Amino acid sequence: MARTLKVAVIGCGAIGERLHIPDLAHCAEAELVAFCDASKARAKAMAEQFAPDAKVYTDYKKLLKESGAEAVCVLLPNKFHAPVTIAAAKAGCHILVEKPMANSSAECQKMIDAANKAGVTLMVNQSQRRLPAHIKAKEILESGILGRVNYVTGMFGHSGPENWSPTGKWFFKKEQARFGAMADLGVHEADIIRFLTGKEIVEVGAFTACLEKKGATVEDNFSATIKFDDGTLGMFGSSWTVKGTMVCFTRFHCQNGNLYVGMSEEEPCWAELHDPECRIDFDLPETELKYKDSWGVDVGSGFVRACLGLEEPYCTGEEGKKSLEVILAAEKSAQTGRIVKVKL
């Protein structure tokens, strides 16, 4: 029988309940051994539903000391990503940390250094890399059929974290989240654009605004124009004030045609060559998901399999940091009104 990995979940809020925990509970290579949340009731509820024998904690340090976990998923408000990741690395645990990786470039580097020193795997949950439509889009772009990518546009928007997480008031507070829509959703776009093109974004000019979220100390809208290392241009943005259906798409305008990819069920991935009549709708790769109620991305099991050496990490600490550097450059640009070079 394949070896299993003892996994603990630190932070049992919306993303834990909807994505990581059900995925890990169905992962043949994972054994859920502990749950931690500041709310004991919350951690207990997750244990009862998904792994009744798992231990329950309210203090992550105690969990790291006592639970016997070999790996942890850090699913906490942004300001805790760095300290908890570093503590977990020091305890010898592999780590999957939620996006945005941390609240600063220095924090990201300390997390990478701590993982390297401890010899553990550090991954960042840039979950869009696991979406079937994006896996297909990468295959198409790498096949060369569309030729060189000349221009990229991307947008990710929804109605705001208040409609996502009942405990998510922290999303609106700068001291806890550091960023608003810019990193909550914008870092997904920065990452997927880097991942799919295989090019680095080197310069950014950006704007932010807080238009509707009363009392928020972070932005609820964000827009950036970007330049890549090979001169390709593009723009992307994110918003917490989109009404109705969520918007999530990335478009690649290439030498031989266009590729459209998004999270819409109707049109997840399609391309058109020079002749607009020539449209190809792509079948998406089958995933091995054995549960229904999430978005269909097997991030927790991907992490576990990477720790066991069964697959490559889908997003390393270094990659997570690079995507955050784009957002940090954008933040600086919005603050100064200047074009800012991305720290590579």
Contact set with ligand NAD (CB under 6 A): 11-16, 36-39, 42, 60, 75-78, 80, 98-99, 125, 127, 165, 167-168, 184
Strands across the sheet containing 94-98: 55-57, 30-36, 5-10, 71-74, 94-98, 122-125
In this complex, which beta carbon is closest to ligand NAD, that of residue 16 or of residue 300?
16
CA distance 251 to 82: 33
CB closer to ligand NAD out of 43 and 146: 43
Q: What pairing do the DSSP bridges indicate for beta strands 149-157 and 233-239?
A: parallel
DSSP designation for 316: B
CB of 240 to ligand NAD, least distance (A): 12
Q: Which residues pair with 322 in a beta bridge?
A: none
Nearer to ligand NAD, 150 or 176 (CB): 176
Least separation in angstroms between residue 88's CB and ligand NAD is: 13
Beta carbon of residue 119, minimum distance to ligand NAD (angstroms, whole number): 25
Q: With CA atoms as reference, report the closest residue to 185 among 247, 230, 129, 231.
A: 247
**Tokens 């792994």 label which residue?**
51
Q: CB nearer to ligand NAD: give 149 or 315.
A: 315
Residue 75 CB, shortest distance to ligand NAD, in Å, is 5
CB 87 within 8 A of CB 60: yes
Identify which of residues 20 and 94 has a Cβ nearer to ligand NAD in the complex.
Answer: 20
* Least distance to ligand NAD, CB of residue 160, Å: 12
Nearer to ligand NAD, 31 or 37 (CB): 37
C-alpha to C-alpha distances, 173 to 108, 165, 167, 242, 264, nearest whole angstrom: 20, 14, 13, 20, 30
Residue nearest to ligand NAD (CB): 13
Q: How far is the CB of 116 from ligand NAD (least distance, A)?
A: 23
Sign of CA dihedral 101, 105, 109, 110: negative
The rounded distance, in Å, linking the Cα atoms of 27 and 307 is: 13
